[in-house]
Structure 1
Amino acid sequence: MGNLNLITIIIIAANVIISYKGFGDFAFFEKYKFNVGAVRRGEQIRLFSSGFLHADTAHLFFNMFTLYFFADVVIGLLGGFSFIIIYIGSLLLGSLLSLYFHKDEYHYSAVGASGAVMGVIYAAILLQPGMSLYMFFIPIPIPAYVFGIGYLLYSIYGMKKRIGNIGHDAHFGGAIGGYAITLLLAPWLLQTNLLMIGLLALPIVLLFALKKAGKM
């Protein structure tokens, strides 16, 4: 983890350039951020463009730093074209899940590449479930699949309790995107990693079960 492929450089550069344009141009930021009311009026471009805007420099740095660590796992095992499909597909699915959960909240807005980045993380976990992750606040390595399941369970809690100014639903939608698209692009994982695929699906099944039960 942590190598800079040309594709990763281009995506990071696009995020930096567009985000900094948004930092200094309020009208540009407002025009391209995710907003439920605007999307429902027909401005679907926001489902995509919002993924390249960020709230501030710290938000941008955290997303791009995380992408830097996980992108090369996916590119190395699936190739650059598949990585782009996973990135864009996860970005869009993150926005669509946000729209689904907030469809009647016309004021709801969001920005950030978190959905796309979460999709890349989940793709990397599917491809290398045995890899270990080191968190700043935990002194021991965490198995990647434990992190993936735990993070999505926390996202469900965050969505239910509306914790912080965080798009938990976009993170979750991005993870679903990374999960589903990776399996479509690498169906051989169903033969080599079936148990892990089932474990990583549990939070996804739980979310929609809670939604159907009216508890979300």
Structure 2
Amino acid sequence: MNINIVTIVVILANVIPSFIGFKDYSFFERYKFHIGSIKKGERIRILTSGFLHVDVTHLLFNMLTLYFFAPIVVAYFGSVKFLIVYLISLIAGNLLSLNFHKGEYHYSAVGASGAVTGILYAAILLQPDMRLGFFFIPIPIPAYIFGIGYLLYSIYGMRNRVGNIGHSAHFGGAIGGYVITLLFFPSLIWVQPLMVGLLALPIVILFILEKSNKL
């Protein structure tokens, strides 16, 4: 697989600050996502937290996912638009987390998961018929089924506070990736309306649950 220079730059932009944060606790604390600090005006954390990670495993998982799916988005949009999708997904993920956890002063999080999920969802929207294989699933499954299932699980995780995972950031990132992909490539709406509609289904469900106060 040929990896574009912009993907390498994004990976390094995650690796370098993350390793600094592993060794420097004050650096990590200064730039992580923290509801109380953001409410006090430190909005830069909405961006900077997306380039920090808890540990090497967390970092490796996100960067491997990015490595596999970034080339699809770069191939369709080019380097600049890829960066826009990445950054908007990162910010969208943290904004949804901010809204979802707004009453939890001490809630904190780090990681590129929102941005990476946005790239993943953009890649699925662009190539919904590609097949994804996983260690725990013996038969590769269509990407669109994985995308829908992943977001439905994220809704479940948000409602039930499952694990130490930022489900809201994942979901917000996916929304960012979905919306900006359609803005960059609006012909998808009439070229493959069924896929566009199916991939929007979890987003609609989340909106309905939010409006009915069931989250």
TM bucket, shorter chain: over 0.9
Instruction: Please report how far the alpha carbon of residue 3 of structure 1 lies from its aligned counterpart in structure 2 after TM superposition.
Output: 3.0
Identical aligned residues as a percent:
65
TM-score by length of 1: 0.98
| Residues 1:155 and 2:157 aligned together | no
Q: 2:189 — aligned with what?
A: 190
Distance in 1, matches of 2:134 and 2:2, equals 19
Q: 1:50 — aligned with what?
A: 49
| Residues 1:106 and 2:130 aligned together | no
Distance in 2, matches of 1:185 and 1:21, equals 35
Query: What SS does the corresponding residue of 1:106 show, helix, strand or coil?
Result: coil
Query: What SS does the corresponding residue of 2:102 show, helix, strand or coil?
Result: coil
Q: 2:70 — aligned with what?
A: 71
> What CA deviation, in whole Å up to 9, does each residue of 1:172-215 have, x standing for no partner?
00000000000001111112111111000110010111111111
Distance in 2, matches of 1:117 and 1:14, equals 13
> What CA deviation, in whole Å up to 9, does each residue of 1:79-121 have, x standing for no partner?
1111000000000000000000011111000000000000000
Q: 1:24 — aligned with what?
A: 23
| Residues 1:6 and 2:5 aligned together | yes
- Aligned residue identity for 2:100: F
Consecutive unaligned residues in structure 1, runs of 5 or more: none
Contact in 2 for aligned 1:3/1:68 (Cα 8 Å): no
Q: 2:201 — aligned with what?
A: 202
Matched pairs, number: 215
Q: 2:128 — aligned with what?
A: 129
Distance in 2, matches of 1:104 and 1:58, equals 30
Distance in 2, matches of 1:52 and 1:96, equals 15
Query: What SS does the corresponding residue of 1:134 show, helix, strand or coil?
Result: strand
Query: What SS does the corresponding residue of 2:42 show, helix, strand or coil?
Result: coil
- Aligned residue identity for 1:79: G
Distance in 2, matches of 1:88 and 1:154, equals 24
Consecutive unaligned residues in structure 2, runs of 5 or more: none
Distance in 1, matches of 2:164 and 2:15, equals 21
